[in-house]
A and B are shown apart, each in its own frame.
Chain A
């Protein structure tokens, strides 16, 4: 056995002891923040409106609701390509991409997620047609 072999074995054994990786999800501990607003056709903010954030590649999605000011936000999205889809008008898709901020190792814990603001969604009033 070469002198380096024990070191390699030690590394391999340490890797064995690592916890099993968590299930893949589009929401995680990522330093990202997406915001947007929803209003009706008269320009009034819509509260409690569902917006579906979808990753087309994996078809995973999450639903976020607007607050009393018609604003929604998503924190912790993984890097990737996404679509914001109004819950009552799924034909109107807003594509957007998420990139992780380039931080130094000593900034990793900083609460300073860069916010990406999506275009405003205007929703027609009335029964949902689809």
Chain B
């Protein structure tokens, strides 16, 4: 939905909520021509007898507000991130690409492999985005740093879920 529709939905929910509160405070009742209390039909719930239809109106307003607030993306502040890299030996310097990824801290986690050397980690990530998966396994600590086995690749949709399979080499 566009921002205008969100705005209209939010205004509608506020008007509905405030209006229902006003009617509640004023104790307004609605009766039909025969003097019977109004019946309000709610989808999936059926008819609800109530002399306070504004309660139901307030319910719809709250539901509309909850839906709108849930769908509107929060305004997340951004900051620049500069990644400087270099090679230790000039002989390795050439014009081939250097691959750089930035991983949010909450998505960098670990697991252990079973006896057969397999492991699975479950993540909950934002939908409608593409993800690359990088897996590292430390194999040696050297004075220059840690050497890793690695595997990487895209997570692809399979059975309603993003999946990645790789072999550490």
> Which residues of A are at the interface with B, using a C-beta cutoff of 8 A?
1, 6, 9-10, 13-14, 16-20, 23, 25, 27, 40, 42, 44, 46-50, 52, 60-64, 74, 76, 87-88, 123-128
Contacts and interface: CB of A to CB of B under 8 A. Distances in A.
A49 B146 contact: yes
11 contacts: A6-B24, A17-B13, A19-B70, A46-B145, A50-B110, A61-B109, A61-B110, A62-B108, A64-B105, A74-B105, A87-B138
Contact of A23 (B13, B66, B69, B124): B124
Nearest to B112: A90
B65 A17 contact: yes
B53 to A, nearest CB: 13
Interface of B is mostly: helix
A55 to B, nearest CB: 11
A74 B142 CA distance: 24
Interface in B1-45: 13, 17, 20-21, 24-25, 27
A42 B58 CA distance: 69
A62 B140 contact: no
Contacts of A124: 141
A14 B146 contact: no
Interface footprint category on B:
20 to 34
B162 interface: no
Nearest to A47: B145
Contacts of A20: 70
A87 B109 contact: no
B120 interface: no
A25 B124 CA distance: 11
Contact of B138 (A16, A27, A76, A128): A128
Interface string B100-126: 000001101110000000000000100
Given A13-B61, A46-B146, A62-B105, A126 B141 contact: yes
A125 B142 contact: yes
Given A9-B24, A76-B105, A88-B146, 13 more contacts: A10-B21, A13-B20, A14-B62, A16-B63, A17-B13, A40-B143, A46-B141, A50-B110, A63-B109, A63-B110, A88-B141, A125-B143, A128-B141
